[in-house]
C-alpha cells in the first residue's frame, strides 16, 4: 500500500506549458471586439454560440472517418448540448441525432430530423410508443432483453415494424454494467428478436467514455470480431451496422488543477493544498481525430470487415460542440484583494466543474496575456460556486466582462435555475 502511495506521489504530472495557455488566450483576445459587440444588446451572463465553429468541427470529424471507411453515418449526441439551435445546425450539416429520452426524441422530431437513433437504458412504454409512431425516422438501440420483450409486444399490438440494434456492455464490472448486454449474448438476442414479425434486428452499438486515445475502442472492436466468430451465419447477415458510439475527447486534451491529478488528490486527502499549487496547470494529452480515425478504421478492417460487410456509425458529442460556445459574465463585487464575485453562478453550467477542470478566465475589458492569481467566485449561496483561481488581464475591477472559452459541452444541457436564473443564449 505504501509503495503504491509513493508511486502516485512521485508520478510525473504533465504540466500545461504557459506558452500553450497564452496561445489559447491570444486566439480569443484576437476576437475580443467581435464578442463585446455581440454582448452590447444582451444581458449577462450569456453564452455566445458560434455556428461556424460547430460546422467546422462537424466537417472535420466526418471527413476523418468517411475517407477511410466505405459506408458511414454520423449522429450528434444531443445530451451533450441540447439547445435546439445546435441540433438544427447538425441536421443541416447532414448529421442524424442520437437521443436518449422521449424528451430528446420529441425535440429531434420537431426539428425535422429524418435519421434518429434512440439509445439509453430504462426506456418507458410511452417513449417506445413515440418511437413506433415515427418508425420510419427512428431506430431503437435496445438496452436489454427485457426492453426487447416489451418493445416487441407493443410493436405487435400497434402492428408497426421497427428497426433495432442492441447496445453491448463494454465493461462487465461496477456501474458500467447498467448499459447493454454482454457481447457473448449477441446470438441469443438475435434469436429472441427474430421471433417477432415486427421487430427487425439490424446491428450492434457500443460506447466508451473519456477516450483520450482510441485504445479502448479498438480493443472492444477486436472483442466484437471474436464474438462474431461464434455467431450463426443468419445472425451475421442480419447485421447492417455497427455503431462505435462517441466519447472522443477534444484535441486540446484535459486541463486540470493540481488537486485533480492523482498525486494532487492524495495530497488533498492528507492535507489541505496551498494556494501555490494553483499557479501551475496540468494537461493530459489527447490524440487528434485523424489518429482516432486511422486506428479505429484499421481495427474495423482487421476484425469486422473480414467477417461481415456493414455500415459504421459514430455518435460524437463533446468533440463537436465543445469549442462552439463561450461563456461571459460580469464582475459584480471585489470583496477582498484576492476575491471577486461575478453575476453568474455555477448553476449556469450545472455543476462544480471548475473546482477540478482548469480553463483560462480572460478579462475582456482589461486584456493581457499575463495570468494573475485571484479567486473568481460566483454569486450562489454555496462555497462550491467557483470559476477559477486565476485570470488573464491587466487588472480586475467591478463591471469587467470575463470570458471562459470552450464551454459548449455538458454545460448548457446541465444548467439549472438554482437561486439565480440561467444564462442567455446568443447565436452568431
Instruction: Please name the fold of domain 2-48+322-427.
Output: Lyase, Ornithine Decarboxylase; Chain A, domain 1 (2.40.37)
The answer to whether the 2-48+322-427 and 52-251+286-320 domains have the same CATH topology is no
How far, in Å, CA of 256 to CA of 354, rounded? 9
Q: What are the Cα distances from residue 12, in Å, to 200, 259, 261, 263, 276?
A: 51, 14, 10, 9, 18
pLDDT (tens digit, 9 = 90+) per residue, 365-423?
Answer: 999 999 999 999 999 999 999 999 999 999 999 999 999 999 999 999 999 999 999 99
How far, in Å, CA of 160 to CA of 199, rounded? 8
The model's confidence at residue 2, banded by pLDDT at 50, 70 and 90, is low
Of the candidates 110, 38, 60, 47, the residue with the CA atom closest to the CA atom of residue 409: 47
How far, in Å, CA of 370 to CA of 17, rounded? 14
Instruction: Please name the fold of domain 52-251+286-320.
Output: TIM Barrel (3.20.20)
Secondary structure element (H or E) that encloses residue 10, with its range: helix 2-10
Of the candidates 289, 301, 318, the residue with the CA atom closest to the CA atom of residue 71: 301
Of the candidates 97, 109, 143, 70, the residue with the CA atom closest to the CA atom of residue 314: 97
pLDDT at 276: 47
Helices (H) and strands (E) in the chain, counts: 14, 18
pLDDT at 391: 98
Secondary structure element (H or E) that encloses residue 333, with its range: strand 325-336
Q: What are the Cα distances from residue 238, in Å, to 50, 148, 193, 257, 360?
A: 41, 16, 11, 48, 50
DSSP 340-354: EEES--GGGTTS-GG
Q: Is pLDDT larger for residue 269 or for residue 237? A: 237
pLDDT (tens digit, 9 = 90+) per residue, 149-193?
Answer: 999 999 999 999 999 999 999 998 889 899 999 999 999 999 999
**Res. 210: pLDDT tops 60:** yes
pLDDT at 273: 53
Kind of pairing between the strands at 241-243 and 162-167: unpaired
pLDDT (tens digit, 9 = 90+) per residue, 333-368?
Answer: 999 999 999 999 999 999 899 999 999 999 999 999
pLDDT at 274: 52
The full set of domain ranges for the chain reads 2-48+322-427, 52-251+286-320
| The residue to which cell 495530497 is assigned | 267
How far, in Å, CA of 323 to CA of 409, rounded? 8
pTM for this one? 0.94
From the number of C-beta atoms within 10 Å of its C-beta (0-12, 13-18, 19+), residue 173 rates as exposed
Q: What is the radius of gyration, based on Cα positions, of the chain?
A: 24
Q: What percent of the chain is modeled with pLDDT above 70?
A: 93
- The strand pairing partners of 404, in sequence order, are 327
Using DSSP, state whether 314 is helix, strand or coil.
Answer: strand
Of the candidates 320, 261, 421, 258, the residue with the CA atom closest to the CA atom of residue 55: 320
Distance of CA 2 to the CA centre of its chain: 36
pLDDT at 5: 54
By mean pLDDT, which of 96-110, 249-263, 316-330 is the weakest?
Answer: 249-263
- At 98, give phi and psi (nearest 5°): -100, 115
- Angle (nearest 5°) at CA 273 between 14 and 385: 95
Amino acid at each position: 500500500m505504501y509503495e503504491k502511495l509513493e508511486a502516485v506521489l512521485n508520478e510525473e504530472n504533465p504540466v500545461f506549458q504557459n506558452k500553450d495557455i497564452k496561445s489559447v488566450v491570444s486566439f480569443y483576445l484576437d476576437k475580443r471586439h467581435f464578442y463585446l459587440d455581440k454582448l452590447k444588446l444582451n444581458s449577462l451572463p450569456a453564452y455566445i454560440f458560434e455556428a461556424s465553429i460547430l460546422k467546422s468541427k462537424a466537417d472535420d470529424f466526418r471527413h476523418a472517418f468517411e475517407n477511410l471507411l466505405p459506408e458511414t453515418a454520423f449522429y450528434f449526441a444531443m445530451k451533450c448540448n441540447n439547445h435546439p439551435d445546435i441540433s438544427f445546425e447538425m441536421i443541416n450539416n447532414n448529421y442524424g441525432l442520437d437521443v436518449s429520452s422521449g424528451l430528446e426524441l420529441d425535440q429531434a422530431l420537431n426539428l425535422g430530423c429524418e435519421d434518429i437513433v434512440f439509445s439509453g437504458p430504462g426506456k418507458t412504454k410511452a417513449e417506445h410508443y413515440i418511437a413506433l409512431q415515427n418508425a420510419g425516422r427512428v431506430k431503437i438501440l435496445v438496452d436489454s432483453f427485457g426492453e426487447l420483450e416489451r418493445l416487441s409486444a407493443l410493436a405487435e399490438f400497434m402492428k408497426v415494424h421497427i428497426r433495432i440494434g442492441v447496445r453491448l456492455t463494454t465493461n462487465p464490472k461496477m456501474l458500467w454494467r447498467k448499459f447493454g448486454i454482454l457481447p457473448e449474448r449477441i446470438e441469443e438476442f438475435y434469436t429472441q428478436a427474430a421471433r417477432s414479425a415486427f421487430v427487425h434486428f439490424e446491428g450492434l452499438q457500443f460506447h466508451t467514455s473519456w477516450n483520450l486515445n482510441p485504445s479502448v475502442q479498438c480493443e472492444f472492436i477486436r472483442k466484437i470480431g471474436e464474438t462474431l466468430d461464434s455467431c450463426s451465419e443468419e445472425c451475421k447477415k442480419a447485421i447492417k451496422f455497427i455503431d462505435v458510439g462517441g466519447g472522443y475527447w477534444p484535441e486540446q486534451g484535459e486541463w486540470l488543477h493540481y488537486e485533480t491529478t492523482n498525486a494532487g488528490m492524495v495530497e488533498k486527502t492528507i492535507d489541505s493544498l496551498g494556494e501555490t499549487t494553483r499557479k501551475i496547470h496540468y494537461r493530459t494529452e489527447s490524440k487528434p481525430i485523424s489518429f482516432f480515425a486511422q486506428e479505429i478504421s484499421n481495427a474495423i478492417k482487421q476484425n469486422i470487415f473480414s467477417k461481415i460487410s456493414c455500415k459504421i456509425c459514430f455518435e460524437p458529442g463533446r468533440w463537436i460542440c465543445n469549442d462552439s460556445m463561450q461563456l461571459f459574465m460580469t464582475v459584480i463585487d471585489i470583496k477582498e484583494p484576492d476575491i471577486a464575485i461575478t453575476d453568474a453562478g455555477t448553476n449556469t453550467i450545472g455543476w462544480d466543474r471548475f473546482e477540478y477542470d482548469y480553463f483560462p478566465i480572460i478579462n475582456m475589458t482589461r486584456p493581457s496575456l499575463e495570468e494573475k492569481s485571484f479567486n473568481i467566485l460566483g454569486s450562489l449561496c454555496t462555497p462550491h460556486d467557483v470559476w477559477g483561481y486565476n485570470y488573464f488581464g491587466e487588472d480586475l475591477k467591478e463591471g469587467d466582462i470575463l470570458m471562459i472559452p470552450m464551454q459548449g459541452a455538458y454545460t448548457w444541457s446541465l444548467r439549472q435555475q438554482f437561486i439565480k436564473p440561467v444564462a442567455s443564449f446568443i447565436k452568431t
